[in-house]
Amino acid sequence: MGCECSKLASCCWTGQNGPVHEAQNPDDEGRDEVSDLPTFREFTVEQLRIATSGFAVENIVSEHGEKAPNVVYKGKLENQRRVAVKRFNRSAWPDSRQFLEEARSVGQLRNHRLANLLGCCCEGDERLLVAEFMPNETLAKHLFHWETQPMKWAMRLRVALYLAQALEYCTNKGRALYHDLNAYRILFDEEGDPRLSCFGLMKNSRDGKSYSTNLAFTPPEYLRTGRITPESVMYSFGTLLLDLLSGKHIPPSHALDLIKDRNLQMLTDSCLEGQFSSDDGTELVRIASRCLQYEPRERPNPKSLVAALFPLQKETEVPSDALMGISRDGETMSLSPLGEACLRMDLTAIHEILEKLGYKDDEGAATELSFQMWTNQMQETLNSKKKGDAAFRHKDAKAAIECYTQFIDVGTMVSPTVYARRSLSYLMSDMPQEALNDAVQAQVISPVWHIASYLQAASLFALGRENEAQIALKEGSVLEEKKNTNS
């Protein structure tokens, strides 16, 4: 179960010139163009004024840019579709024909990895773009300015893959240039999936700048020529991989020095400790290093990035909103009796369900049959488990904890159910942190076991960690539904 930063530091770098592995990507056919979006259209200023409540200040989503300031508003069209409206400074696009051509070209793209462009407005001096609205903030917000929980490793890998898929789609459609790719350009939709903003596919014509970020983060060839190329986009992708790994915005030159010196403890987000293996950490650093090569021709293309990132994906069965701790608007989670009991913190009901379940979900040496096959010298350990079961049946939490601990401490037999039962016994003894530790251990042994997720939720509720508890509850629900479907 994963490496700590120090382990990654000792095993990581294998050389900057190794190729990014090509791999079969079974998801290629699943990235077709979306068909449920309206075709690109032109709006009037009045229509967009109504949609944004008169470009009201309270509807401003973001505001940036010094030489050519622009403002993004949230709004709602007549058909109730929620949109993001980007309003440029009057001097940003003096050539109306150029603006319309650019917007129409970008507006032909339709992909579920993009926050797609739905339309534009070119009326008088007004230049506006209309895109799908993404309600769940930017990657920068979730990565650098999180309030309740840091982004999980599995979600960071998903962001990297989805972004690479977005860039591959754009490249295949003849839009390989993306301007100022950074953590603010990645948005999260209502399902918690990351999307690449379509706004970065259009360049501001008046100031001609492709990068507004600190010069320390711009591709070296852009500093020399002032021009962006497809390889420049790959460099920016590398800086985003560093963001995802470190949880900070580290200048590429500094990161490459750390990699060269194998000092990756400084590069890795401490919040990720124990969430990933050494091999996975090594591979992500290697991909980032390839993207950050000084010579543009040595950087990978989007297709090879997708191929390299696809095998690294973790927890693919868990929806993004569950990984992110995002609740969908108006959605009510459908919970099983055990899920409901954990939500209510009904320990009696949880006990009844676990008791009825027995050891059905244990595998191999953890099953009752396998216990009977152990040699005589293991009989004492087996007796500890049986005594624990008897105490658990009679709700004698203290005795159950003592007996199960004797069984676990021997370390020869592994049983997720024993950890689950001791977890509940700890909850019944008002020891929620110990309960959480055991629930996590049960999931280490059996990663897709819904019982472990539900008990984590109950423990987190007891600890007052509401947001994390809701995430665990949702994960348990998803795993239970998947199990029921498979059976």
Q: 10 Å Cβ neighbour count for 373?
A: 9
What is the distance between the alpha carbons of residues 461 and 43, in angstroms, rounded to a whole number?
A: 48
Contact 66, 213 (CB under 8 A): no
β-partners of residue 82 are: 76
Tokens standing for residue 459: 């423990």
Q: Which of 180, 193, 321, 361 is catalytic?
A: 180
What does the DSSP 8-state code read for residue 219?
Answer: -
What is the distance between the alpha carbons of residues 101 and 325, in angstroms, rounded to a whole number?
A: 40
476, HSE (Cβ side, Cα atoms, 13 Å)? 29
β-partners of residue 115 are: 197
Q: Exposed, middle or buried by CB within 10 Å (0-12, 13-18, 19+), for 154?
A: middle
Residue with tokens 């592995």: 21
What is the distance between the alpha carbons of residues 254 and 197, in angstroms, rounded to a whole number?
A: 28
One-letter identity of residue 126: E
β-partners of residue 85 are: 73, 130
β-partners of residue 62 are: 72
Strand order in the sheet with 114-115: 114-115, 194-197, 186-188
CA 75 centroid distance within chain: 26
Residue 329 annotated in active site = no
CB burial readout 236-252, b (16+ within 10 A) else e: bbbbbbbbbbbbebbeb
Residues known to be catalytic: 180
